[in-house]
Amino acid sequence: MNVKNIMVIGAGQMGSGIAQVCAQAGYSVILNDLKPEFVERGLGIIKKNLSRQVEKERMTAEEMEAVLGNVTVSTDLQDAKNVELVIEAAVENMEIKTKIFSQLDEIAPEHAILASNTSSLPITEIAAATRRPEKVIGMHFMNPVPVMKLVEIIRGLATADEVYQTIEDITKTLKKVPVEVNDFPGFVSNRILMPMINEAIYTLYEGVATKEAIDEVMKLGMNHPMGPLTLADFIGLDTCLYIMETLHEGFGDDKYRPCPLLRKYVKAGWLGKKAGRGFYVYE
């Protein structure tokens, strides 16, 4: 299928990044969110990212304007009626996602593919909210989207081969590396990453070492670019907790039980970098 027009739903950090890479690849992009201030903030993130590229002379000012010219903003889901692909990057919540997909099923053209940037929720369940489960697929981008190469492509139970192939081809045009993954809780990335972060939190909780020491061991000993507790702060502790709960519920195995300290921090509103405080304090 020939895709020229893409709608990205959710103008947060992930959604704006996805919209940016799609616009840079020459697609016509509609960046959608609930309120005008949300989409304007998302557009601001894109402008800031591109301006940095111009400053570093990786892009000309003319190229930046051309990319921005590929992006239009929207607060109305009805704008999905003329697109061939929708990439949903809303909050990581099944109820919200299934509601969006049910609405998109009514609005988007019959041939349109509906993709979710979910980091842990089952694509098969999201697809069940539509009458086109064969056209529903997962496209899990990594954060920050403009920098990170990986896209996990997740097949739902009913995802058609040609839909998978279209999404794999589009991923390559975005200069990303597609990796095919089947529909299990957490897929590959978060099934491996989140228990490691959770175990690091248990190590702190049980007083084995300080947060600085735990991060230093993983950086210097395992060659990780940042320690797991710093990484958790960057991801958001509420997101980490939600993914651990999804793994725990999905597999029914206590090895995925979220650490009580993680729950305590989330209840305290210490959500990481975005809140100014998590395992570390941010100015």
Sequence ranges of the domains in the chain: 5-182, 190-275
Each residue's pLDDT tens digit, 199-247: 999 999 999 999 999 999 999 999 999 999 999 999 999 999 999 999 9
DSSP string, 140-209: EEPSSTTT--EEEEEE-TT--HHHHHHHHHHHHHTT-EEEEEES-TTTTHHHHHHHHHHHHHHHHHTTSS
48 annotated as belonging to a binding site for a ligand:
no
* pLDDT score, position 58: 94
Strand order in the sheet with 113-116: 71-74, 28-32, 5-9, 85-88, 113-116, 136-141, 150-155, 177-182
Is 14 marked as a binding-site residue? yes
Q: Give the pLDDT score at 235.
A: 92
Q: Is 12 annotated as a binding residue?
A: yes
CATH superfamily of 190-275: N-(1-d-carboxylethyl)-l-norvaline Dehydrogenase; domain 2 (1.10.1040.10)
The residue length of the chain stands at: 283
CATH of domain 5-182: 3.40.50.720
Candidates 49, 119, 120, 198; catalytic one: 119
User: Is residue 13 part of an annotated ligand binding site?
Assistant: yes
Instruction: Give the pLDDT means over successive 10-residue stretches in the chain (283 positions).
Output: 96 96 98 97 97 95 97 97 97 95 98 96 97 98 95 97 98 98 95 98 98 98 97 96 95 97 98 97 93
Q: At CA 101, angle to CA 27 and CA 272, rounded to 5?
A: 80
Report how far apart, in Å, the C-alpha atoms of 32 and of each of 189, 236, 242 are: 27, 23, 24
Of residues 59, 11, 17, 15, the one with CA closest to residue 36: 11
Concerning whether 140 is annotated as a catalytic residue, the answer is yes
pTM greater than 0.85 (yes/no):
yes
Q: Indicate if 224 belongs to the active site.
A: no
Task: Please give the DSSP secondary-structure letter assigned to residue 77.
Answer: G
